[in-house]
Amino acid sequence: MSNVINAQHWILENKTTFDQPINLNYGSKDATFILEDVKYDLNDSKLLKKGELLIESLFFSNDPAQKGWWSKQPGYVAPSPPHSPAPSRGIAKVIKANSENYKEGDIISSNINWATHNIIPEAQFGTYKIDPTRFDSLTKYLSVFGSTTLTAYVSAYKYAELTDPENSQDKVFLVTGAAGAVGAVLVQIFAKVFKAKKVLAVAGGDEKVKYVESLGNGNVYGLDYKSKTYKEDFAKAIGDDKIDVYVDQVGGEILDHASFFLKDFGRIVQVGTIAGYNDISKAAFKAYSNVVTKRLSIRGFIVSDDREQFPQIIQHLSELIKSGVIDASKIKETVVDGSGENFKKVPELWNGLFSGKNTGKYITRVTSDPNIK
C-alpha cells in the first residue's frame, strides 16, 4: 500500500466579482479556478507542524456566500488571495494529526477548501469534531444542524424583532428562497412554531411550490416566481392582509414588488441578495421610497455574529425537532456527486446554486467510500 496520497486542489486563480459569473473555461488565462495535483508523503516526518491535521474531504457545503469569499470586493470575511485554495466549508476525516486534540479517524466540520485532501490548522475558526453516529448521514451536520438552519433560527427569533414570537397567530410572513436550505426551516418556524396566520413562501417551479406548502399546517401559500402570473398569484394569496416580517434572500425585482405589501413599520430581514450574485444590477432595490413612506426597518446580518449563542440555539432546535414541531425529514438535501473523476466538475456543481438545481441544502459528495453516508 502506497504511503503517498495523490490529492487534487481547486485553486482560486483569478478573483471574481459580483458583476459576472465565475469563468469555467479552464483553458482560459482568465479562468476563475485551476485544478492542481498535490502529493502528501505520509512517511515524511515534517509533513505536519504542531497543531496541523491532514484531512480527507467527504462532503462540501455549497453556499452562495462563497462567491464573496472569491470576490475582488471586500466582504465580511477576509477575501482569499489569488493562487490560493478555493475555500469551502464541509465535512472531513482526519488522516493524520500532529495534535493532542484530534486523532486519525476523527470526523470534523471545518473550512476544508475544495480539495480531496488538505492540511489545515486545528485552531482554524469553526473547526470541531462531530459524532458520526448521531444521525443516519453526516450530511445532516450541513443541513439540519448546519449554518443554514442557524441562519433561519436567528432570522426568526432575533432579527425579526417580534416582541412575542410564540403568540403570532395574527402575523403574516414572507420568505423568499423558501425551498432552499434557509428558507425551508424558516417556513416551518413561522408556520408551526410561531403559528402564523399566513406564510407566503416564494420558490421556483411547481414542484418546489408544493414542497414549501407541505411545510406548514395549511397556512403556507407557495408562490412560483417563475410563473407569468406571479404578481396576480401573490395578490390573491395575501388578500387584504399586509406583511409583518419579510425575510429576503433574493433582492431585486422580488424585493421591489414585495415592499408594496408590507405593513407600515414592517420589517425586512435581509439574509442575502442571490439575484445579483452574477449581475449586481439585478440586486438593485428600486422601490426604496417604500422604506420612507412605510417607515420600514431593514436589518442585515451574518450568522457568525451570533456564534456565542450557537450551543443554546442548537439545544432549542433539538427540542423542537424531537417534539415534532419542526419536521427534520422535511429539511431536504440535494447531494451531487463530486467523487473520483467528477471532482473535475466541482465548480460547475457549485454553480448549480444559481440555476435552481437544488431543493434544500445543496451538498457535493467528495468521498467515493460507499460506507460513508
Answer with the residue of higher pLDDT: 124 or 196.
196
The pLDDT of residue 346 is above 80: yes
Does 327 reside within a domain? no
Listed range (124-133, 239-248, 287-296) with the worst mean pLDDT: 124-133
pLDDT at 74: 64
The answer to whether residues 309 and 356 belong to one domain is: no
pLDDT band of residue 65 (cuts 50, 70, 90) is confident
Q: How confident is the model at residue 193 (pLDDT cuts 50, 70, 90)?
A: very high
For every residue of 109-139, which 3-state class applies, written as one string?
A: EEECCCECEEEEECCCCCCEECCCCCCCCHH
User: With 90 as the cut, is the pLDDT of residue 198 above it?
Assistant: yes
What average pLDDT does this structure show over 104-117? 96
**Cβ-based neighbours of 270, under 8 Å, separated by 6 or more:** 248, 251, 298, 299, 300, 301
Same structural domain, 350 and 252: no
pLDDT at 75: 65
Q: Is residue 212 part of a domain?
A: yes
Whether residue 46 sits in one domain with residue 180: no
Dist. CA 212–CA 332, nearest whole Å: 11
| pLDDT tens string 33-55 | 999 999 999 999 999 999 999 99
Judgement on whether residues 163 and 289 belong to the same structural domain of the protein: yes
Q: Are residues 132 and 175 in the same domain?
A: no
The answer as to whether 371 is a domain residue is: no
Q: Are residues 104 and 204 in the same domain?
A: no
Specify whether 74 is located in the same domain as 131: yes
Here the CATH number for the domain that contains residue 117 is 3.90.180.10
Q: Retrieve residue 245's grid coordinates.
A: 416580517
Residues 300 and 163 in one domain: yes
Q: For the chain, give the percent of residues with pLDDT over 90.
A: 73
On whether both 159 and 134 belong to a single domain, the answer is no
pLDDT at position 356 is 79
One domain for residues 231 and 287: yes
**If you average pLDDT over residues 332-352, what whole number do you get?**
95
Residues above pLDDT 70, as percent of the chain = 97
pLDDT at 20: 78
Residue 156 lies inside a defined structural domain of this protein: yes
Write down the pLDDT at residue 249: 93
Listed range (82-86, 164-168, 189-193, 322-326) with the worst mean pLDDT: 164-168
Average pLDDT for 135-153: 91
pTM, to two decimals: 0.84
Taking 80 as the threshold, does the pLDDT of residue 72 lie above it?
no
**pLDDT at residue number 212:** 96
pLDDT in tens, 119-138: 999 998 788 999 998 888 99
Q: What is the pLDDT of residue 101?
A: 95
State which amino acid sits at residue 190: F
Domain that holds residue 43: 4-143+332-365
Residue 202 sits in the same domain as residue 226? yes
300: pLDDT strictly greater than 60: yes
Q: Specify whether 118 is located in the same domain as 151.
A: no
Give 67's contacts (C-beta < 8 A, 6+ positions apart): 16, 18, 22, 277
Computed over every residue of the chain, the mean pLDDT equals: 92
Which neighbouring-strand residues pair with 300?
270
pLDDT at 2: 66
Residue 211 lies in a domain: yes
CATH number at residue 183: 3.40.50.720
Which of 108-122, 225-239, 354-368 has the lowest average pLDDT? 354-368
Question: Given phi > 0 = left and psi -120 to 50 = alpha, else beta, which region is 28?
Answer: beta
Residue 372 lies in a domain: no
Q: Do 326 and 189 form a contact (C-beta atoms < 8 A)? A: yes
Is residue 18 one of the residues assigned to a domain?
yes
Instruction: Let me know if residue 370 belongs to a domain.
Output: no
Please give the residue that has the higher pLDDT: either 80 or 114: 114
If one compares 182 and 18, the residue with the highest pLDDT of the two is 182
Number of domains in the chain: 2
